[in-house]
Amino acid sequence: MDVKPTDQNSSSAATRLQHLLAVCVARDASDLHLAAGQPPLLRVDGLLAVAAGEPALSKTEIEAFAGELLGAGQAKILEARGDCDGALTAAGARFRFNVFKRGGALSIAVRRLEERFRSLRELGLPESLYELCDSPDGLVIVAGPTGAGKSTTLAALINRINQTHPRHIITIEDPIEYLHAPARALVNQRQVGTDCPTFNDALVASLREDPDVILVGEIRDLETIRTAITAAETGHLVFTTVHAADCVGVIERLVSVFQAAEQEGIRRQLSLVLRAVITQQLLVCDGTLSVATNAPVGRRARMVACEIMVVNSAVANLIATGKSSLIYSTMEIGVAQGMQTLEHDLARLHVGGHISEATALAFAKSPRTWRDRVDHLRSPAARTNLPPVL
């Protein structure tokens, strides 16, 4: 939606909101926070700070901003649920927002999205992941905490398909974050709460809409997980996200949603349909920044550290038999197939001078394994072929 004035009060609120969104863009902030009694806050390079020169906001102003952002249907969701998501285009950028109740008042959190689709290389991810876009079917999962760039990674993959394959792509999102104009593909984007009631309802309906590729913004409940697996089984390429810290955690989280009697069967299904799991963390660089980061002097760049599990026959067998603890050993020797552990990527970033030892150890699951990877990458043979950090 675009912010459009309707009357004098609405016009004033729309103008003020447009101004704050423009400030967010001008100061290259990732997030804008609006709360009654406080000045606007901006998150720049991971740190939250007051927007200089901006006065504190009143409760009335916040309510007016919410009125500008929310349609009638969304306002009902806010009233019933206590929060509501949405997206808008304003100030020359795309934003995702969440309006929520707190202590009898409203607050608004706004996330600025990328103005363009970035390539995997620009995101610091291996270009070998583009091979997933050529898969005729299966399930691809991107995992990580909130704010780790999962949506941006998925947008890069969907954009690749859109630019290179004559396919029908359906996205089911809450809200729609990246707008895909049809190129070689036909793209239909549906927003939960506006175009469809739930993720699962839209996913079930999509199977009757002749899709080749389906993007599900997030799978979190049993029925949506079940339907996503079914869609992957029946000849569709399904992309989605899950909140999990690592690749094995993704599998265990999906399986644990089901009753114990079903879990063995779900493991077998996952072993057949799962193509890859990518987990990522967004780190603030505190070392010598690469020129490729394009970070202005004095600014802190952020980089992705990722773990990649490609489901080959060995991994599939371990998933099917419930031997998840052995998957990491397979990933360690699966480098030629595009696999890597988080410790390996953290070691790569550290040896490249981009993150400190403290930062790497804060994210590493196994400090000992991380140190082993660092020692290996610092060996003369390894350094000769050390890939660049992007």
DSSP string computed for 223-276: HHHHHHHHHHHTT-EEEEEE--SSHHHHHHHHHHTS-HHHHHHHHHHHHHHEEE
What pLDDT sits at residue 284?
Answer: 81
- CA-nearest of 195, 215, 217, 181 to 96 is 217
User: 341 near 376, Cβ under 8 Å?
Assistant: no
What pLDDT sits at residue 390?
Answer: 42
For the stretch 206-240, pLDDT in tens is 999 999 999 999 998 999 999 999 999 999 999 99
User: Strands 213-216 and 168-173: what pairing?
Assistant: parallel
What pLDDT sits at residue 294?
Answer: 43
User: 349 near 305, Cβ under 8 Å?
Assistant: yes
SS3 string of 279-326? Answer: EEEEEECCCCCCHHHCCCCCCCCEEEEEEEEECCHHHHHHHHCCCHHH
Percent of the chain with pLDDT over 70: 91
What pLDDT sits at residue 388?
Answer: 47
Dihedral sign of CA atoms 389, 285, 30, 215 in order: positive
What pLDDT sits at residue 2?
Answer: 43
For the stretch 76-109, pLDDT in tens is 889 999 999 899 999 889 999 999 999 889 999 9
How much is the average pLDDT of 270-287? 91
For the stretch 227-275, pLDDT in tens is 999 999 999 999 999 999 899 999 999 999 999 999 999 999 999 999 9
Whether residue 385 is predicted with pLDDT greater than 80 in this model: the reply is no
User: 104 near 83, Cβ under 8 Å?
Assistant: no
- Residue with the larger pLDDT of the pair 243 and 296: 243
pTM of the model as a whole:
0.85
pLDDT band with cut points at 50, 70 and 90 for residue 277? very high
For the chain, domains (ranges, CATH) are: 8-112 (3.30.450.90), 120-384 (3.40.50.300)
* 3-state DSSP assignment of residue 196: strand
* DSSP element (H, E) containing 359: helix 357-363
Give dist(CA 304, CA 284) in Å, integer. Answer: 9
- CA-nearest of 70, 72, 73, 56 to 16 is 56
Whether residue 5 is predicted with pLDDT greater than 50 in this model: the reply is no
For the stretch 311-346, pLDDT in tens is 999 999 999 999 988 999 999 999 899 999 999 999
User: 250 near 140, Cβ under 8 Å?
Assistant: no
Helix axis angle, 247-256 to 260-273, nearest 10°: 140
pLDDT band with cut points at 50, 70 and 90 for residue 381? low
